[in-house]
A and B are shown apart, each in its own frame.
Chain A
Amino acid sequence: MNNQREYEVIIIGAGVVGNGIAYHLSDKKQKNILVIDKGFPLSGTSGATQAWVWVHGKKPDTYAYFTKCSAELYPELERKIGDIEYARTGGIEPFFSVEEMKEAEKMVQSQSNAGIPVELLSREEVLKKEPYFSQNVVGATYSPVDGNVNPFKLLEKYIKANRAHDVTFSFYNEVTGIDKKAGKFVVHTQKGKFTAEKLVLAGGLWTKKLGAFLNVSVPIEKVRGQIIVTEPLKPFIHHTIGGMMRQMQCGPVLIGYSMEKAGYDRRSTLDIIQETAKFGIQYYPDLAKANVVRCFSGIRVIPEDGIPILGKVPQVDQLYIAVTHSGVTLSPLIGTLMSELIMKDTTSISIKDYQISRFSKQSV
């Protein structure tokens, strides 16, 4: 790391969100960017995910549309930064009862009207798309726009591109305090002080703590998801299976559905893993004999009302925030819009629904 201490923009958080913002800023020729992380990229939620790029079914419909815009940006991102194993597999969200079919029909109608390509599949159509799927399936919702990506490759390529654009990184460096002095942010870290005109809080789970340094309340919850990883198997799951699983390009199948309140505890628990195994086999009976190599847990960052927190923080001048679940799905769009906001004070797609000011309690 160089000895520079003064920057124009400091981004706290080097996950898919922070690195994505740094990428778009630097790509647009913003200079003097510093990205600080208390660990190394992928040590937080970005490294503990199935990495779906999932659109259909998200609520409300406007948010689903917003998400679609992000999914559409992936091919261009991959073209620019290199192979990130982005696969627009199409997403299938199956159901096994007639009651659920009625729910599905409503969702398909509503989202189609909102401009999201989604259709209802019959049992036969599901089995045609996924021959190994359970014969008990009743139907599914399907969108051609869903897919998945390799988060390790995504971060690796972001870092390389950012370095090539002279973004400075400070890893293994925890932020211990933030002040505002004479119009500049002073970020106190384990390795000393840095100053910047603009500050972006993109610290995932830890954004609440970062916000507190500036008396900004960040209403986010932690929800754990446990995931099973099988041994590499020949490609047989061709789509991303909503809410449950997908197969990686190198062969392993990832299975995970759980949503638990567990704080920061990233252990895997036998009871949940047993449940997860059961669902995996119910969806794809052929998986029964596949070996489980390991399990891991990720803690989702879920804003109180379930949709992202993006944009400026009104009560602190030049302070920005980007914290959300589905960071992998939204990374290209968040990076694009936040960089526009930071550099030109305007965004090409409206983010008014995602402002932090929508939460009534903002302490001073």
Chain B
Amino acid sequence: MNEETIICPCEDVTYSDLESVLSLGAETFDDVKRFTRCGMGSCQAKACFYQVSKLISKRKQIPLSKIPYTHMRLPLRMIPLESLLGEDKEKPVKTSLSEGHANE
């Protein structure tokens, strides 16, 4: 393990990126994820979750069992946007104006 070793191949996150956010005070995989993008790529943390958690565990002296599992979300696989479309293809277009969105 050295500074340039890749810990998240999807997003090219290195060990030194991890070190930076750990020194900011992060202690969980999810917190590391939000600051480094580790786990936000196409594999959605499948390759890196345990590897990075083990590094956090070692560096911060936290048992692996205390690093919560990350939230894997819909869609569980990378899919084209149009493949998500439901059946009702003739709906009128909604806009922020019609939804009263401005104050958000």
Q: Is B81's CB under 8 angstroms from A243's CB?
A: no
- Given A59-B103, A243-B101, do A279 and B94 touch, yes or no (CB 8 Å)? yes
Q: Is A270's CB under 8 angstroms from B35's CB?
A: no
A288 / chain B contacts, CB cutoff of 8 Å: 80-82
Chain B interface residues (CB < 8 Å from chain A):
24-28, 30-31, 34-35, 37, 40-42, 44, 71, 73-75, 78-82, 84-86, 89, 91-99, 101-104
Q: Is B35's CB under 8 angstroms from A93's CB?
A: no
Q: Given A223-B104, A273-B75, output 13 extra A-B contacts at Cβ < 8 Å.
A: A43-B34, A100-B98, A160-B24, A172-B27, A243-B99, A278-B86, A279-B93, A280-B81, A289-B82, A292-B84, A293-B40, A293-B42, A325-B103
Nearest Cβ distance between residue A161 and chain B, in whole angstroms? 12
Nearest Cβ distance between residue B55 and chain A, in whole angstroms? 17
A355 / chain B contacts, CB cutoff of 8 Å: none
Q: Does A136 contact B (CB under 8 A)?
A: yes
Q: Is B81's CB under 8 angstroms from A169's CB?
A: no
16 contacts between A and B (CB under 8 A): A39-B31, A40-B25, A59-B103, A63-B103, A136-B93, A269-B74, A274-B84, A275-B86, A279-B93, A279-B94, A288-B80, A289-B80, A289-B82, A291-B78, A307-B103, A325-B103
Q: How far is the CA of A265 from the CA of B31 in the complex (A)?
A: 19
Over the window 243-262 of chain A, the binary record of Cβ atoms lying under 8 Å from chain B Cβ atoms (1 yes, 0 no) is 11000000000000101000
Q: Is B81's CB under 8 angstroms from A257's CB?
A: no
Contacts between chains A and B (CB distance < 8 A), count = 146
Interface positions of A from 70 to 124, Cβ below 8 Å from B: 93-96, 100, 103-104
Over the window 278-312 of chain A, the binary record of Cβ atoms lying under 8 Å from chain B Cβ atoms (1 yes, 0 no) is 11111000011111111110001010001100000
Q: Does A204 contact B (CB under 8 A)?
A: no
Q: How far is the CA of A18 from the CA of B103 in the complex (A)?
A: 21
A243 / chain B contacts, CB cutoff of 8 Å: 95-97, 99, 101-102, 104
Q: How far is the CA of A145 from the CA of B27 in the complex (A)?
A: 37
Chain A interface residues (CB < 8 Å from chain B):
39-40, 42-43, 47, 57-59, 63, 93-96, 100, 103-104, 136, 152, 155-156, 159-160, 169, 171-172, 223, 225, 228-231, 242-244, 257, 259, 266-271, 273-275, 277-282, 287-296, 300, 302, 306-307, 325-326
Q: How far is the CA of A275 from the CA of B84 in the complex (A)?
A: 9
Nearest Cβ distance between residue A294 and chain B, in whole angstroms? 6
Q: Is B81's CB under 8 angstroms from A103's CB?
A: no
Q: How far is the CA of A269 from the CA of B75 in the complex (A)?
A: 9
B85 / chain A contacts, CB cutoff of 8 Å: 274, 277-278, 281
B25 / chain A contacts, CB cutoff of 8 Å: 40, 159, 169, 171
Q: Is A292's CB under 8 angstroms from B81's CB?
A: yes
Q: How far is the CA of A39 from the CA of B25 in the complex (A)?
A: 10
Q: How far is the CA of A40 from the CA of B30 in the complex (A)?
A: 9
- Given A169-B25, A293-B78, A296-B73, do A273 and B84 touch, yes or no (CB 8 Å)? yes
Q: Is A100's CB under 8 angstroms from B97's CB?
A: yes
A277 / chain B contacts, CB cutoff of 8 Å: 81-82, 84-85
Q: Is B97's CB under 8 angstroms from A95's CB?
A: yes
Checking B34, B40, B99, B101 against A294 with a beta-carbon cut-off of 8 angstroms, the contacting residue is B40
B96 / chain A contacts, CB cutoff of 8 Å: 57, 93, 242-244, 257
B81 / chain A contacts, CB cutoff of 8 Å: 228, 230, 277, 280-281, 287-292
- Given A42-B35, A47-B34, A172-B27, do A293 and B95 touch, yes or no (CB 8 Å)? no
Checking B35, B89, B92, B97 against A152 with a beta-carbon cut-off of 8 angstroms, the contacting residue is B35
Q: Is A156's CB under 8 angstroms from B95's CB?
A: no
Q: Is A259's CB under 8 angstroms from B35's CB?
A: no
